[in-house]
Structure 1
Amino acid sequence: MQDASAISADPKDLVAPEPVPAARQRLGQLVLIAGWAVLLGTLAVQVLSSAGLIYKGFDNWRPLVYAYLAWAVAFGWSQVLRRGNEGSKALFVLPAVLFIAAMVIFPLVFGLYIAFTDWNLSAFEGRKFNGLDNVRQMLADPFYWNALANMIWYTLSVLVEYAIAFGLALLLNSQIRGRKFFRVVFLLPLMLSPVAVSWMVGKSMMEIRFGPVANLARWLGWENPSFFTDPWLAKLSIMAMDAWTFIPLMMIMLLAGLQALPREVLEAARVDGASAWQSFWKVVFPLTLPVSITAIMIRIIFKLKIADIIINVTSGGPGGATDSVTSFIYREYRDRSNVGYGTLLAMVYLVLIVVALTLMLNIAGRWLRGYGQEEA
């Protein structure tokens, strides 16, 4: 006789899945086909109308939204009809999937379509397909490639920010007087928006005529303390303001990693006679590598989006020396109203970001595994 405990140990074997009648499955397939027909038919009419190939189309994209909602209802209904209880369970996940498709996938597809059009908001012709003209313009655009080169320098500055943040985290993790007060004070820049920092520091404190930082530099012997006329000085000033804003983010992540370290290991290193530097390099730094890589990657993501400070302080000047890709794309939209070309630049930049971050994560993972094996 079969052991009853073995049967009760796996309750899903007690209930067989309810078979779905063939007629119900066929009805579910018809409902799904009808939903797809409505969605694709509406999309075809809208695309042909937008391209000017037919003249009896929709005035806007609202019918496509209604068709998408009808397809979503038909898709969910067909799941229940064809799969029974399993389809009913899938309905709990379906709203999230449909929301992601509507808010992420559709804008990406639509943006890809816009990237290959000539769409200038200041022109009377409206939007029209222009093939690879935007790609050729991008390849011959020195300002865009200059902005990409600037992003390399901005990204490399994250390493300096990491070193400063790690030092501050070590300081705040030690037994110093007023430690809680300094933790709050060091987090204050993170509470300010980059726009506020750009006006408070870049436009006020570093202003060449009346700014206190400029007056201090003049008192120290700098005759013309202009922080935003020399290309490299302007770039360093932008880096400094951005670093002042976001170093607390890295600091608080590293501080959390330091506080999570096992005290027994640190005490063992101290008992074995390790110096402060040896304890840091052989114990603290290896144990905090995972959180360090996480902090650096998150900071790089924020750095790749830098635009607020640049737009408000220098507008990319002098001569594009401080331009980032995001600020350059912003000016393409705002100053030139060039939606098609700006969208192509944004799409290319998105691909570059995804590829670069993927490579950095792979390299960091391999290095972390190799470092762990060497330490072992």
Structure 2
Amino acid sequence: MIIEAGGQPPAFLRLSMGQALANEGDLLHVVTNDNISTRRIAFGRAIVWGSAAVLALTGLTQTLQETGLAGFGYSNWRPTLYAYILWAVCLCWSQVLIRGEQGKRTLFVLPAALFVISMVVFPLLFGLVIAFSDWNLSSPTGRTFNGLDNIRQMWRDPFYWNALTNMVWYSLAILVEYAIAFGLALLLNSQIRARKFFRVAFLMPLMLSPVAVSWMIGKSMMEVRFGPVARLARELGWEQPSFFGSPELARASIMIMDAWTFIPFMMIMILAGLQAIPKEVQEAAKVDGANAWRGFWEVTFPLMLPVSITAILIRIIFKLKLADIIITVTSGGPGGATDSVTSFIFREYRDRSNVGYGTLLAMVYLVLIVIAMTILMKIAERWMRPQY
């Protein structure tokens, strides 16, 4: 049947269309503006602010008890946890009361966000409480609040500042690692024989855990008496090869082992970037008369800057967590010469059972990492910004 423009369909067709829409109405959910009363809105806000007041009061009283300023009879932090759960439930409920259908949409995200906050904020706050406490696991008195004593101890601790200095040297070694990784990536990107084999072979150190690398190289191959590297050093004229005897040599040995483990990670990222460069760009540079060296510095390297900076930043993050190789091979020796901040904090926990002081060092190190990475990312953003 043909219906002319501007005309009306026949009566029987309009009746069937109305019945179809009526049947589909049972399946469709149309979101309309809710008529929310002021009493309902007031009740929603009241439960939110009331539960927030209960949470704040409970947290304050427990904090006063933990610092020894008052006693309220709490045996643990469960009341604060229960108050937080009450506030979270009231917050979700109030969204529906105040915003109606829009509030129901919020419930798809809000519970997950509150759970993430509880898993991040509460441990951080608890860590701050421990950081300003004297808590030695071997002490019969348990944890006591000591104010700024841990900060004063950190300021006078030469081993902690030595570990921070070592981290500067370890981080600067990333530039050498980057140069080696870039060279290997260029080699594997070229047309050489057994290229696939070399790609797998160069990735093998990344497949090993740092602890396995520590035992395989630091404890076995570089062992003073029977290690193959030590025997080769004797054959070359080094009478008493000791790779971990002097501070400088021990630090360099740790850098080499760590670099051997993570250079493949940077290499594979740079190799992926090189393969993404269009061949037409390099061919155009050759047509314009650029040799291999000039083509690299004026074409390949500028195009690889975003990938290179990303690889360096991720490598810095891994480097700032350097601990397992140091703990396994040297335990920070000789005399703390190879200590990283992470390994030093670990030994504060394990060897000295000093939980309070170790937590403060970890908190300070976290703040330093956040500041340093923020500055580096700002600098990297300027480098990766297109120049016109």
Q: TM-score, normalised by structure 2?
A: 0.88
- Match for 1:334 among 339, 347, 350? 350
Specify the SS of the correspondent of 1:18.
Answer: coil
Establish whether residue 130 from structure 1 lines up as the match of residue 146 from structure 2: yes
1:193 alignment counterpart: 209
- Match for 1:238 among 231, 251, 254? 254
1:279 alignment counterpart: 295
Q: How does 1:294-313 map to 2 (within 5 A)?
A: 294-313=310-329
- Match for 1:316 among 332, 343, 348? 332
1:104 alignment counterpart: 120
Q: How many aligned residue pairs are there?
A: 359
Provide the rounded CA distance (Å) in 1 between the counterparts of 2:110 and 2:362: 30
* Root mean square deviation of aligned Cα: 1.7
Same amino acid, percent of matched pairs? 70
Specify the SS of the correspondent of 1:228.
Answer: coil
Provide the rounded CA distance (Å) in 2 between the counterparts of 1:195 and 1:286: 37
Specify the SS of the correspondent of 1:336.
Answer: coil
2:44 alignment counterpart: 28
Of 227-236 and 257-266, the range deviating more from structure 2: 257-266
| 1:46/1:57 contact within 8 Å kept | no
Specify the SS of the correspondent of 1:209.
Answer: coil
| 2:134/2:144 contact within 8 Å kept | yes
| 1:342-372 alpha-carbon deviations (Å, 9 max, x no partner) | 1111111111111111111222222344xx5
| 1:253-308 alpha-carbon deviations (Å, 9 max, x no partner) | 11111111122111111222211111111111000100100000000011011000
| 1:35/1:71 contact within 8 Å kept | yes
| 2:52/2:87 contact within 8 Å kept | yes
Provide the rounded CA distance (Å) in 1 between the counterparts of 2:265 and 2:37: 58
Specify the SS of the correspondent of 2:111.
Answer: helix
Q: How does 1:340-351 map to 2 (within 5 A)?
A: 340-351=356-367
AA matched with 1:336: R
- Match for 2:176 among 144, 157, 160? 160
Q: TM-score, normalised by structure 1?
A: 0.91
Of 339-348 and 286-295, the range deviating more from structure 2: 339-348
| 1:52-88 alpha-carbon deviations (Å, 9 max, x no partner) | 4555533222333233222211111111111112211
Q: How does 1:75-154 map to 2 (within 5 A)?
A: 75-154=91-170
Note the residue ranges of structure 1 that are not aligned, 5 or more in a row: 1-13
| 1:121/1:337 contact within 8 Å kept | yes
Provide the rounded CA distance (Å) in 1 between the counterparts of 2:267 and 2:358: 35
Specify the SS of the correspondent of 1:232.
Answer: helix
Provide the rounded CA distance (Å) in 2 between the counterparts of 1:71 and 1:101: 13
Specify the SS of the correspondent of 1:79.
Answer: helix
